[in-house]
A and B are shown apart, each in its own frame.
Chain A
Amino acid sequence: MRGLLVTSVLVTTALVVSGCGGLGSDDSGALVTMGFGLPDEHATARVAVFRAANPGVDLRISEGAFDEQQFLSAVAAGDPPDLVYAERRKLGGYAARGAVQSLDACVREHGVDLGRFREAALRQVTYEGRVYGLPEFSSVRLMIVNNPVVRAAGLDPAALSTSDWAGMGALADRLKKVDDGRVERIGFDPKVPEFLPLWAKANGAELIGPDARLDDPRVVEAVRHTTDLVARQGGWASFKASRDTFDQFGANNQYVTGQLAAMPMDSWYINTLATNSPDADVTIMPFTDREGRVLTESGGQAWAIPKGARHPDLACRFLVTMTDTQTWVTAATARRDALTKAGRPYGGTFTADRVADERIFREVFDPKGNPILERGVPVVLSLQDEAFALPPSPAASELVRAWEGAVNRVLVGQQSPREAMAQAQREAERALKRVSGR
């Protein structure tokens, strides 16, 4: 019997101890990051620069996509990483909630020239006059047109325009191919709800800002215009089902197979196209507003230091190094060399650092005659400083959810554009009230 008791006590202790294994904070002094991976030389070469300059620092890159829940739980539990890598548009909300630290002192101490960062990117990481993150990559939105399809319809790809909203319906009709309910080709994909900020801006309206309203008639008109385009190309169910079959990251992508004639898209896709289907015949051109002016939206990531980070000074040194002009040039060179070794062109690295981009595209850029890159990259570069960005908001996630939900309700026929955006405005007001008050 005594043996039984001893056994049960030992087994219980072992199970409890083993169950608790792995818990507890890391007191080792390591510099820990969250949301950052090491997929290519852009990441590995820059990390190598930091390691070389700081050989005594135990840097631990926790690879994996940024997870908001994981991040906020860690901050709430007082056990945050030292650095977080996230979408810039999220930082305003984290700053308002006190989840990330101001970098003003860090920037001062290291003499970072904020003037070299692109205005739109810097605006996204600045909340109430203080900088909360240092911007990294920068993508813009532009038009990618499938030349053979458009020419086959008797149109000039270069003459395609997003300015004439009244004429875009007829254009989509001419380019689409819908057969007995099956969408064989999308003529023009407005990319809503994701690109609603761009369409609203094209109509002169902002979605976030002190005077912005989601039920603004100009926003409602943008929703109506874009959802009508979808409705006349087979309706949302068939349109989306067709879009879901695109082999977007493959050699048989929608431009090669002719499943799409034209759409606005993020600039990073140019590199994808150039790599996977270098012979795809496309025209890359700016998106324009209703007045015919060039319009684009900027996006990207930023580094920030969470509240309660154990090594803020080291973290500051890390993010300053990662976003430094020379570091970017080093990484771009490493990337180009690796691609050259694989016999592939290098389409450049688009950063939020204007000075870095100037050097990269002057000293490192090597398209190896790839027509997509040779024609597309100058367009992207010309747009970088023209871009607008959604300003930071303490309720950014909720606002995006509100307007995307509204557009989806219109797309599936549940609500009219006016009803949907009125509901979105009510939801946005509730969210703003929640995060700013209660």
Chain B
Amino acid sequence: MVVGERGGRAEGAVVVGRARRARRGAVTVSGREARAGWLFLLPWVIGFVAFTAGPMLFSLWLSLTHYDMLKPPTFVGLDNYREALVDERVGTALWNTVFFTVLHVPAQIVLALGLASLLRRAGRGSGFFRTVLYLPVMTPPVALAAMFLLLLNGQHGAVNGFLGWFGFQGPNWTTDPVWIKPGLVVMSLWTVGSTAVLYLAALTRVPVERYEAARLDGASPWRQFWHVTLPGISGTVYFTAVVNTIASLQVFTEAYAMFFGARAKQSAEGDAALFYVIHLFQEAFGSLRMGYASALAWGLFVVIAVITAVQVRLSRRYVHYEGERS
């Protein structure tokens, strides 16, 4: 018994020692893994600090200065932000940008969803149609702008030619200030394929049983779409709404290539295509006002953050994620 006790103690001591070593070993392994993980992350971290966080902080500092790239920056406090608040062109640019976003985002979502629904029914040809739908996304933005300048020309463009077949006289999409933003929205739908492909993937993940159950309950195709499809893909719709909104608020390349060219001067169509980032770019690289342009950039950052926060808040009510308790 004594021996046994001793032996039991000894065995216990061995077990405890093994457990401690195992724990130490586990700690050591997880620590090494963490270190390795951080080392693998290091290129991204260096890149983020050097090329994103660093420039952002520098631009925050610049926004409090006057800086023309050639003379050192001089501190002016909040002057640039005050000027932005009374700058007429900021108001115009913001209005143009929000107007474009309000038209572009819903149009993109509705069309993409429609195309994805059609693609889902395409059967064996879906791979081909998916490719065809996505191909326009590969078009370089400047080439796209040049092409649509011709297509949307009010006098001899193909779009108005098409409308003419149905007896409509199309507007001057590229030269009439009233129609420039709708024209840009039409052009932006050229790249609807990227959103449609996401919706197609989401649609295929909606369980078939739900449709069967809905049909058994006598639900019409529209009610199936409203009560089964839409909740089933609401996470993807939400994601694309947020991403497209952010992209729309930063619209630049196509509008700049179409209406401003490389001269960084005035558009020949007045201020109708003056989007926020174009105004920012003109101030920075046309007038060399890096401080003011930095203040404008931070202004846009705040606007995007506020709009995204509103979208996040709305998503709690309208977005359904699979596996979450409702």
Q: Could you list which residues of chain A lie within 8 angstroms of chain B, going by C-beta atoms? A: 1, 4-5, 8-9, 11-12, 15-16, 19, 65, 68-69, 72-73, 75-76, 97-99, 180-183, 193, 236-242, 244-245, 397-398, 400-401, 404-405, 408-409, 411-412, 414, 431, 434-435, 438
Contact = CB atoms under 8 A, between A and B. Distances in A.
Given A193-B266, A241-B153, A412-B270, A12 B42 contact: yes
Given A408-B266, A412-B269, A19 B286 contact: no
Contacts of B175: 236-241, 244
B40 A19 contact: no
B46 A11 contact: no
Task: Classify the interface of chain B: helix, strand, loop or mixed.
Answer: loop
Please give me the 6 A-B residue pairs with the lowest Cβ-Cβ distance, nearest first.
A237-B176, A8-B39, A237-B172, A412-B270, A241-B154, A15-B43
Given A1-B36, A183-B155, A244-B153, 13 more contacts: A69-B285, A75-B69, A97-B68, A240-B269, A241-B154, A244-B155, A244-B175, A245-B153, A401-B265, A401-B287, A408-B266, A438-B66, A438-B74
Nearest to A5: B36
A15 to B, nearest CB: 4
Contacts of B74: 438
B104 interface: no
Contacts of A412: 177, 269-270, 272
Interface string B163-184: 0000001001011110000000
Interface residues of B, number: 45
B36 A4 contact: yes
A8 B40 contact: yes
Contacts of A431: 287
A414 B35 CA distance: 62
A34 B265 CA distance: 21
Contacts of A65: 262
Contact of B69 (A15, A72, A236, A408): A72
Nearest to A236: B175
A240 B154 CA distance: 9
Nearest to A415: B270
B84 interface: no
A contacts with B: majority SS: helix
B270 A414 contact: yes
B324 to A, nearest CB: 36
Given A12-B43, A404-B266, A1 B29 contact: yes
Contacts of A11: 40, 43
A182, A237, A405 — which one has the most chain B CB atoms within 10 A of its CB?
A237
B266 A401 contact: yes
A18 B266 CA distance: 40
Nearest to A96: B70
A239 to B, nearest CB: 8
Contacts of A97: 68, 70-71, 288
21 contacts: A8-B39, A12-B39, A16-B42, A65-B262, A75-B69, A76-B70, A97-B71, A182-B155, A236-B175, A237-B177, A245-B155, A397-B265, A398-B286, A404-B266, A405-B266, A405-B271, A408-B266, A408-B269, A411-B268, A412-B272, A434-B66
A337 B172 CA distance: 46
Nearest to A70: B285
Interface in B1-51: 29, 32-33, 35-36, 39-40, 42-43, 46-47
B269 A19 contact: no
A245 B266 contact: no
A241 B265 contact: no
B149 interface: yes
Given A65-B262, A238-B154, A397-B286, A408 B32 contact: no
Given A99-B70, A404-B265, A438-B66, A241 B155 contact: yes
Nearest to A241: B154
A69 B33 CA distance: 45
Nearest to B67: A76
B268 to A, nearest CB: 6
B32 A1 contact: yes
A75 B35 contact: no
A236 B154 CA distance: 12
Contacts of A182: 155
A244 B172 CA distance: 11
A9 B289 contact: no
B117 interface: no
Nearest to B74: A438
A182 B169 CA distance: 10
Contacts of B289: 434
Given A97-B68, A193-B266, A237 B36 contact: no
Interface string B196-218: 00000000000000000000000
Given A5-B36, A398-B287, A408 B70 contact: no
A113 B35 CA distance: 70
A183 B155 CA distance: 7
Contacts of A16: 42-43, 46
A411 B172 CA distance: 14
Given A241-B172, A401-B265, A404-B265, A68 B40 contact: no
B107 interface: no
A37 to B, nearest CB: 14
A246 B99 CA distance: 31
B272 to A, nearest CB: 7
A161 to B, nearest CB: 27
Contacts of A73: 69
B264 interface: yes
Nearest to A423: B88
B59 to A, nearest CB: 15
Contacts of B288: 72, 97
A324 B69 CA distance: 33
Nearest to B38: A8
A5 B39 contact: yes
Nearest to A3: B36
Contacts of B282: 401
B224 interface: no
B227 interface: no
